[in-house]
Amino acid sequence: MQQERLQKIIAHAGVSSRREAEAMIREGRVTLNGRVVTELGTRADPDRDHIKVDGKLITKAEPHRYILLYKPREVMTTVEDPQGRRTVIDLVRGIRERIYPVGRLDFHSEGLVLLTNDGELAFKVSHPTHGSVKTYSVKVRGVPDERMIDKLRRGITLDGKRTLPCDIERMRTTGKRDDEGNSWFEVKLREGRTQQIRKMFQAIGHPVSKLRRVAIGPISDPKLTPGVWRELTKQEVKMLETMKELKKPVKARRTTARPVSRKKPAAAGAKRSAARPKARQAASRASASRSETRSSTRRTPSPRPATPRPKIAAGKKPAGSKKAPSRRASARPPRSSARRG
């Protein structure tokens, strides 16, 4: 038989999910032919090699079982509990195969839980990249503002990590008016952190009073009551197996052509910056030579010859000269020497 990865062999044997098998390998709980293995890429042949988990030999794969259970409140979603509290395995009687719960549902919550020994399907249902959406009915205290609900839809930071976007729809309120009493919401998550929904609404000041999981992907059953379980039908198993992996959103491409960048390579820029001082020096020299050439070719104006002034004899006036008119309009009359008697 062709060799396969250890975590896949462990999951097929119904010991745990593939994710849990990887954790077991890292912790050194898996041995291959008597040697402890801690590398996830280790391969083995399940028909020839001896593979043990916690000292127990893995046998051939068992027939797969798929159980849908309505978990009551105050029941642990684990195989065993160190404190002795009831677990979901205690509620499922008559199953000979080693089954385990897929995912988690906190101690004070109720609703649907899937139990199986099919490691591949358990990984697909529990991992958020495969599009497995869990639907919850949530009752919170008070009436949260729509702005705060939008904040939860986009995602908030819990325990240092941001939550994935989720769908939240307001269903009804318990008061007479929409802004009175408590509120019921339908929440759809693609991830399953510990008490995530409770922490989300606690962060906006509206703690959760009731939480019920009503669907796991396409699987739901409103007829189930707390503590009751049933086998999944072949059609339901096929619906879980054919869930497609979510594709990452592709960034939109620009439809218009990008403007041509005016930046030039760094080497060319360095050459230009180094050549600039030389060019400036050459330009200054050329301008200086042009100014010298202009100054040498410019004609200097010749001085005008001085015209000799004619000599004038004493007492004579030069010809052509006119007597300047007197500024006085009329001469004063002479004073009479005769005195009036």
Q: Check residue 249 and give its pLDDT.
A: 45
Domain spans of the chain, in order of start:
1-61, 133-216
Query: What tokens were used for 184?
Result: 């019921």
Q: Check residue 252 and give its pLDDT.
A: 45
The answer to whether domain 1-61 has CATH 3.10.290.10 is yes
Annotated active-site positions, please?
Answer: 106
Q: Check residue 310 and give its pLDDT.
A: 57
Mean of the pLDDT values across residues 74-93? 93
Query: What tokens were used for 153?
Result: 């839809």
Q: Which CATH number fits domain 133-216: 3.40.50.300, 3.50.30.50, 3.50.40.10, 3.30.70.1560?
A: 3.30.70.1560
Looking at 61-65, 190-194, 246-250, which range is the least confident one? 246-250
Residue-wise over 264-283: b if at least 16 C-beta within 10 A, else e? eeeeeeeeeeeeeeeeeeee
- 197-227 pLDDT per residue, tens: 999 999 999 999 999 999 999 999 999 999 9
Cα Dmax for the chain? 178
Whether residue 256 has pLDDT greater than 50: no
How many helices (H) and strands (E) are present in the chain, helices listed first? 8, 16
Q: What gap in Å lies between CA 91 and CA 77, rounded to an integer? A: 11
Amino acid at 226: P
Query: What tokens were used for 173?
Result: 């309120």
Q: Check residue 18 and give its pLDDT.
A: 80
pTM: 0.61
